[in-house]
C-alpha cells in the first residue's frame, strides 16, 4: 500500500514550502504531487528547483503539475488525484501541514481493514498564522483508532457523530475517489471536501484515529472565509440532504426528520455567528423554526454525543499495539 500526498496551491509560496516539507519529511516514504493553480508568485520556479535538488541527491518523489489558467481548488484536487500513483491519497492544502508520522500511523490503522476501508481521518490541531495552537478537534470513540462499517457511516455523518473533518485530516482510497467523479467545482472551497467524503463513503468503511497528526491554519486568508454565514448554511443543508438520501435502511426508523435536521443547522449557524459577534449574519438566518422543540432536542442530542464520547453502536474498535506519538 502506497500513499500520494496531493497539495493544491495558488500564490501562497511562503506557506506552500512548509506544506511540501511536511510531506517530504514523512517517516513513511510517499509521492508528493503539487498542483499549481497558475500561481504568479514564483511557485513554479521554487518547486522545479526543489525537484532538481532532490534528483541530484537520491531521486525525486516530488511531482509538479501546473494549470494553464486558474481553474479553482476542486479542479486542482481532481488533477492531482488523477495523476497520483499511490493506492491512497492524502489531501493537503497549501496553508496546512502534517505531523511527520501522519502517513505511518494512518497506514497501521488502514492495514487492519485493508480490503474494506476507503476513507481515514485523524485529529487536527488548529493553529494561527504563527503556528501557535488555538484548539484541537475532539477525540471520538474508543482507543487509538476505530472504524465505522459502511452501512453506518452516513447515519453517523447525519447526526455528526463521526465528522471526517477538513482535507488536512483525511486520506482516501484513490480508486474510490475516482469512482465518485472527484470534487465538485460548483462547490469550490465551500464544502467541496465534505461532498467528496459523502460520496467516497458509499464504497467502504471509515477509519478514525484518535491521534493528532495534522495541523490546520486558521487565518483571514483561508479560502472558506470568503463565504457568508448564509452561504455556508445553505451549502451545509445541501450536504445534509445528500447524506440523508444515503442513510442505510437499518437506521430509517430512528433517523430524525429532514426538516428537523435543517432547523438544527440554522440554529447551529446562528449561534456560530453570534459567537463571532456577527449580529447581521445571525439575523440574516433567523427563522421561527429554530424555536421548535424538535430543533433544540436534536441540537442537544448532537452536543451530548460529542461530549459523552460513548459507543453509539456504529463504532468498532481497532487494536493498535503502539501508543500514539502525539
Helices (H) and strands (E) in the chain, counts: 11, 11
H, E, C per residue of 299-316: HHHHHHHHHHCCCCCCCE
**Does residue 103 fall inside a structural domain?**
no
Label residues 216-246 b or e (16+ Cβ within 10 Å = b).
bbeeeebeeeeeebeebbbbbbebbebbbee
Least-confidence region, from 40-44, 153-157, 196-200, 229-233: 229-233
As a whole number of angstroms, the distance between CA 115 and CA 75 comes to 29
**Does residue 276 fall inside a structural domain?**
yes
| pLDDT value at 309 more than 70 | no
Distance of CA 219 to the CA centre of its chain: 17
- Structurally, the chain folds into a number of domains equal to 1
| pLDDT value at 307 more than 60 | no
As a whole number of angstroms, the distance between CA 205 and CA 32 comes to 25
**Does residue 235 fall inside a structural domain?**
yes
- Which tens digit of pLDDT belongs to each residue from 277-300? 888 888 888 887 787 888 888 878
Provide the pLDDT confidence category of residue 254 given band limits of 50, 70 and 90: confident
What phi, psi does 206 have (nearest 5°)? -110, 140
- Which tens digit of pLDDT belongs to each residue from 152-165? 999 999 988 888 99
**Does residue 261 fall inside a structural domain?**
yes
**What range defines the domain where residue 280 resides?**
227-307
**Does residue 109 fall inside a structural domain?**
no
- Which tens digit of pLDDT belongs to each residue from 90-118? 999 999 999 999 999 999 999 999 999 99
As a whole number of angstroms, the distance between CA 81 and CA 90 comes to 9
Report which of residues 243 and 143 the model is more confident about.
243
What phi, psi does 99 have (nearest 5°)? -65, 150
- Which tens digit of pLDDT belongs to each residue from 150-204? 999 999 999 888 889 999 999 999 999 999 999 999 987 778 999 999 999 999 9
User: In this predicted structure, what is the pLDDT of residue 276?
Assistant: 79
Q: Are 26 and 55 in contact (CB under 8 A)?
A: no
Provide the pLDDT confidence category of residue 131 given band limits of 50, 70 and 90: confident
Percent of the chain topping pLDDT 90:
62
Question: Mean pLDDT throughout 269-280?
Answer: 83
Amino acid at each position: 500500500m502506497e500513499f500520494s500526498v496531493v497539495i493544491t496551491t495558488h500564490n501562497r509560496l511562503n506557506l506552500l514550502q512548509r506544506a511540501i516539507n511536511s510531506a517530504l519529511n514523512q517517516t513513511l516514504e510517499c509521492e508528493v504531487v503539487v498542483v499549481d493553480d497558475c500561481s504568479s508568485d514564483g511557485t513554479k520556479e521554487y518547486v522545479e528547483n526543489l525537484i532538481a535538488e532532490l534528483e541530484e541527491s537520491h531521486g525525486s518523489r516530488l511531482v509538479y503539475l501546473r494549470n494553464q489558467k486558474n481553474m479553482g481548488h476542486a479542479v486542482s484536487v481532481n488533477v492531482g488525484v488523477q495523476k497520483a500513483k499511490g493506492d491512497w491519497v492524502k489531501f493537503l492544502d497549501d496553508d496546512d501541514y502534517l505531523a511527520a508520522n501522519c502517513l505511518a500511523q494512518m497506514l497501521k490503522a488502514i492495514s487492519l481493514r485493508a480490503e474494506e476501508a476507503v476513507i481515514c481521518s485523524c485529529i487536527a490541531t488548529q493553529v494561527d498564522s504563527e503556528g501557535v495552537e488555538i484548539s484541537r478537534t475532539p477525540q471520538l470513540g474508543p482507543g487509538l483508532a476505530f472504524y465505522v462499517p459502511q452501512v453506518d457511516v452516513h447515519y453517523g455523518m447525519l447526526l455528526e457523530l463521526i465528522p471526517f473533518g477538513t482535507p488536512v485530516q483525511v486520506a482516501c482510497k484513490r480508486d474510490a475517489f475516482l469512482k465518485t467523479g472527484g470534487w465538485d467545482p460548483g462547490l469550490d472551497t465551500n464544502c467541496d471536501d465534505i461532498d467528496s467524503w459523502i460520496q467516497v463513503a458509499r464504497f467502504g468503511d471509515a477509519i478514525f484515529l484518535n491521534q493528532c497528526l495534522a495541523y490546520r491554519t486558521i487565518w483571514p486568508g483561508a479560502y472558506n472565509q470568503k463565504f457568508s454565514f448564509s452561504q455556508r448554511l445553505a451549502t451545509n443543508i445541501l450536504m445534509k440532504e445528500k447524506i440523508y438520501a444515503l442513510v442505510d435502511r437499518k437506521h430509517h426508523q430512528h433517523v430524525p426528520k429532514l426538516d428537523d435536521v435543517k432547523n438544527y443547522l440554522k440554529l447551529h449557524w446562528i449561534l456560530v455567528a453570534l459567537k463571532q459577534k456577527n449580529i447581521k449574519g445571525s439575523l440574516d438566518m433567523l427563522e421561527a423554526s429554530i424555536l421548535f422543540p424538535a430543533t433544540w432536542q436534536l441540537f442537544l442530542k448532537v452536543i451530548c454525543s460529542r461530549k459523552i464520547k460513548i459507543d453509539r453502536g456504529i463504532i468498532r474498535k481497532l487494536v493498535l499495539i503502539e501508543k500514539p506519538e502525539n
